[in-house]
Structure 1
Amino acid sequence: MPVGPDGWFEAARPIRVEGGIRARSKRGTIGEQWWSRRFVDILERVCDPGRLSRGRAYARRGQVLDLDLGPGLAKARVQGSRPEPYDVRVRITAYGADEWAGLTAALGAQALHRAKLLAGEMPPEVEQVFDACGLPLFPGERGLDMDCSCPDWGFPCKHLSAVLYLLAEAFDEDPFLVLAWRGMARDTLLDALRHIGGQGGGHGHGEQVAGGPDPGEPGDGGATPGLLDVADVPFAGRLGDFYEPGVPAARLGPPADPGSPPDLLLRALDPPPVKARHIPLLDLLRPAYRRFAAEEDEAAG
């Protein structure tokens, strides 16, 4: 039996798998989006290059039979050269309810971050929000606890490496899996962000005192007003500051990038309590914004 470069006896080839999870990438590195590349960069800094290379080959060959990700744990089965598949576990710290309450409040406090997350995007600034809360989004060099049931003494083995690369591709498809691994499900987070946005975004944890007045209404007992809350002042009393913005520019965050959805501004601003024929105003405006953007694209083309 030949001896591999890692000093362990290895069979010539693994048992071929039908219907395994096959990496989409056929050559080169794995991971296209910024969040998956961040994860792969960490792996390539701490893992043996030879084993990572063999792990990529396993991932592209479809040797991973299944992959399941939950709070703090990713588990998989990988078919090697022996009849029984190997069990792989990759663990990170999943944050608790109190930690996620602070993170959700910090994310919701940034109007554009909140809007992009609600649109299914993962802005790079999200990582900075996590760091500011002292809770890293990605595991550091010692933040991954990994094990495999194979007899390879090397770390990580090619079976672990294959799973890590497939995790990176899964993150490519759905960035919210990164957050789910940290303990926050996509729907739960988006519901919390909508709750914060619906209350004007001014409450530290997106909570409203039961029985209290609506934060968007005048006389709300000192609650921070929403972006659309404007005091009713006679025009004669506004001549001096009529052309000044109603809210600080910092609350609006950085300018949107060209690839942002055409209705991003509607998602960033707090929804006004206005309906037409029982339909919320924003639901009526969104199609118009999208039509304007489509007409502009056609004119540019």
Structure 2
Amino acid sequence: MSPNGGPAARPGPDDLRRTFEAVPARTSDADGPFAESWWGRAWVEALESLSMDEGRLARGREYADGGHVAAITVTPGRVIAYVHGSRPRPYRAELRLRSFPASDWDTLLDAVAARPGHLSALLDKEMPHSLVDTAGEAGIRLLPAAGDLDPDCSCPDRGWPCKHVAALCFQTARLLDSDPFVLLLMRGRGERELLDELGRRNAEHSARERPETPDMPSVAASDALADRFLPPLPAPLPVPRYPGEPPSYPELPGARDPLGLDHLATDAAARAHTMLTTGDDPLAGLSTWQDAVRIAASRPTAGLTATTRALYRELAFATGRSTTDLARAVAAWRQGGAEGLGVLETAWDPPAGPFDRARPALAAADFPRFQPRRNRLTDATGTLQLRFGHDSRWYGYESDPGEDDWWPRAAPDPDPVAALTALRG
């Protein structure tokens, strides 16, 4: 089956031959309308108007419902399929339909291109009533009437049509349901050719309707590129020492959260100020979690106000962390930025050298013995710890005795002795 529910089509050698796989027997709603779309039902009505024998039509519908129709091939002007009847060998059923001459196609395509909605509907596999009406106004009958269908079958039945052709007609209605381009192919044009031609004519039609614009003044390229004196650019304005303060956002019913707007404006100003003064973007390469920590760390450090606590809760919820995790990460960020956060969250194996020289240096300064583990040195009491970062600095951490609950403390330092001194101080 095709993605829109109709029979699947096998590709042919070109756009003018399409073969649709056989459709299995219907297992439900056998008494309902055979076609669901209005244009599919119009096809069935043309078939019923063609026949004067209700019995053959009923038998043909039973064949179609029962899956007796094999693969259907559609080419300009005809529909062909083998239909299994009462005998072991299937019959070759054929239905011919008049193809449009080139003049009719020109008239039809010009009329359709003038209505962009027609092209949109066809792309959605719809056949709008207005398209058929437009064709009718141009003197072109798109949907068939009884006299347009010419049946033929290899069976001995001389019915007009026989039950095998009737079954083919009913099954063709299901093809039309899922793809109205099948009808246009019967009339002589393939889908790709039609869409290309409609797109071209639609563009030409739009160009003809576009109002003319007056001639714009222009400058010759030689004049624009000629060497000439240009005065020096004025000196840039001095960068202020601190970012500006955002405006006050009142609380209004239905308005955005003033706290969120205040923070967005403050953060944008701080980011712009950093880029002006250093040339670096503080957000470049940050993950969502790192950016949340950065935002929380930008709030004032003197106590947690109600506003800051609300911000912590929202950032923690948005990143799937607890407020304690966020507070610890903020302490690490204030200690060393993104590198400080990495030291908090990721243990690693540093190379020999600076790390291995740290313990003798601490011992020479009369500090107690430290136990190494990966990039960390922990004192015997389990309350002080130094962590070696990728930036070759030592970061001080502190925990309550026996808690293994480490928090960043003091500023990092390339010298482990100075880092531990600051931590103990």
Matches within 5 A, 1:57-136: 57-136=62-141
Partner of 2:43: 39
Q: TM-score, length-normalised on structure 1?
A: 0.59
Any conservation in 2 of the 1:23–1:169 contact (CA below 8 Å)? no
- Quote the offset at 1:164 in angstroms: 0.4
Q: Please list the CA deviations of residues 15-40 of structure 1 after superposition, one character each: whole Å capped at 9, or x if unmatched.
A: xxxx9533546332200001101111
Partner of 1:279: none
Question: Pick from 143, 161, 165: which aligns with 2:148?
Answer: 143
Any conservation in 2 of the 1:23–1:166 contact (CA below 8 Å)? no
Cα-Cα RMSD: 2.2
CA distance in 2, matches of 1:225, 1:143: 37
CA distance in 2, matches of 1:127, 1:170: 18
Any conservation in 2 of the 1:22–1:59 contact (CA below 8 Å)? no
Any conservation in 1 of the 2:50–2:149 contact (CA below 8 Å)? no
Tell me the SS of whatever aligns to 2:32: coil
Tell me the SS of whatever aligns to 1:68: strand
Question: Pick from 162, 174, 177: which aligns with 2:182?
Answer: 177
Any conservation in 2 of the 1:118–1:193 contact (CA below 8 Å)? no
Q: Please list the CA deviations of residues 86-139 of structure 1 after superposition, one character each: whole Å capped at 9, or x if unmatched.
A: 111100111133321221111101232233234433211111122122221122
Partner of 1:225: 209
Question: Pick from 162, 165, 180: which aligns with 1:160?
Answer: 165
Tell me the SS of whatever aligns to 1:26: coil
Q: Which has the higher contact order (CA 8 A, sep 6+)?
A: 1
Partner of 1:197: 202
- AA at the equivalent of 1:28: G
CA distance in 1, matches of 2:186, 2:154: 22
Q: TM-score, length-normalised on structure 2?
A: 0.42
Tell me the SS of whatever aligns to 1:142: helix
Percentage identity across aligned positions?
A: 38
Gaps of 5+ in 1: 1-18, 203-214, 216-223, 234-301
CA distance in 1, matches of 2:84, 2:195: 37
CA distance in 1, matches of 2:200, 2:102: 16
Q: Please list the CA deviations of residues 132-187 of structure 1 after superposition, one character each: whole Å capped at 9, or x if unmatched.
A: 22221122221111111111122211111110000000100101111111011111
Q: Please list the CA deviations of residues 198-238 of structure 1 after superposition, one character each: whole Å capped at 9, or x if unmatched.
A: 23x15xxxxxxxxxxxx4xxxxxxxx333xx47579xxxxx
Tell me the SS of whatever aligns to 1:54: helix
Larger Rg: 2
CA distance in 2, matches of 1:37, 1:58: 18
- AA at the equivalent of 1:38: A
Any conservation in 2 of the 1:31–1:172 contact (CA below 8 Å)? yes
Tell me the SS of whatever aligns to 2:71: strand
CA distance in 1, matches of 2:186, 2:198: 19
CA distance in 1, matches of 2:198, 2:165: 35
CA distance in 2, matches of 1:90, 1:185: 18
CA distance in 2, matches of 1:116, 1:141: 26
- AA at the equivalent of 1:39: W
CA distance in 2, matches of 1:87, 1:131: 33
